[in-house]
Amino acid sequence: MINVFSHLLKPFGYLLIKGISGKRAYDWWAPAFLTIISAAYFCLLKVPTTDLLKEGGFVKSVSSFISNLPGFYIAALAAIATFNREQIDYPLIGLNGTPFIKVTRTKENGKTVDTQEKLTRRLFLCMLFSFLTALSICILMFNAFVTPLTNVLNNDIVNWCYIIVFLFFTWQMLVSTFFGLYYLGDRIHIN
């Protein structure tokens, strides 16, 4: 049963990659900063939370945009996984050596061993687009489950909590997407 959950949560392993300069900023600090700026923007404009959540409001508009993304992310993942170019299997270049991810493996005797797997460019990009696919689907599911709750409770505190979580995950997805575009457009060509 634990294996099932570890397999289902594997796309989020991207967040555990170590050795990439500034990755924590891309994964956590930039989305948090943009969430604060966005929430402050809505507060300064004194936009009621019900307007942000209603049909045609901010959350619904962004959700309809996000609903188109999983297909594109899956297509990018498939293209990267099957891309036939020798350089994509070179080690990922980091400032302090090759970036890595900790991997737990079970040996034949049943014992588990933690190892560090060095990342290739292909593995990094596959992990990135796998994460983006999973995150975009989770945002949509989060939206689908919480929207009825906000309608029933109709409480500003609940609405703001929902909006802030939605903003954070959306910004995390967008910042990671732009990081992936930067990597595909520039970094992948550096030997």
pLDDT of residue 150: 85
Per-residue pLDDT of the chain (191 residues; tens, 9 = 90+): 667 777 888 999 999 998 887 889 999 999 999 999 999 999 999 989 888 988 889 999 999 999 999 999 999 999 999 988 888 888 887 656 678 888 777 666 767 777 788 888 899 999 999 999 999 999 999 999 998 888 888 889 999 999 999 999 999 999 999 999 988 888 767 66
- Whole-structure pTM value: 0.90
Rounded distance between C-alpha atoms, residue 178 and residue 139, angstroms:
18
For position 30, what pLDDT does the model report? 97
Token pair of 39 as six digits: 């929430």
- What pLDDT shows up at residue 22? 84
DSSP string, the chain: -HHHHHHHTGGGGGGG-BS-TTHHIIIIIHHHHHHHHHHHHHHHTT--HHHHHSTTSHHHHHHHHHTTHHHHHHHHHHHHHH---GGGGSBPPBTTB--EEEEEEE-TTS-EEEEEEEPBHHHHHHHHHHHHHHHHHHHHHHHHHHHHHHHHH--HHHHHHHHHHHHHHHHHHHHHHHHHHHHHHTGGG--
List, in sequence order, every residue forming a beta bridge with 50; answer none if it has no partner. none
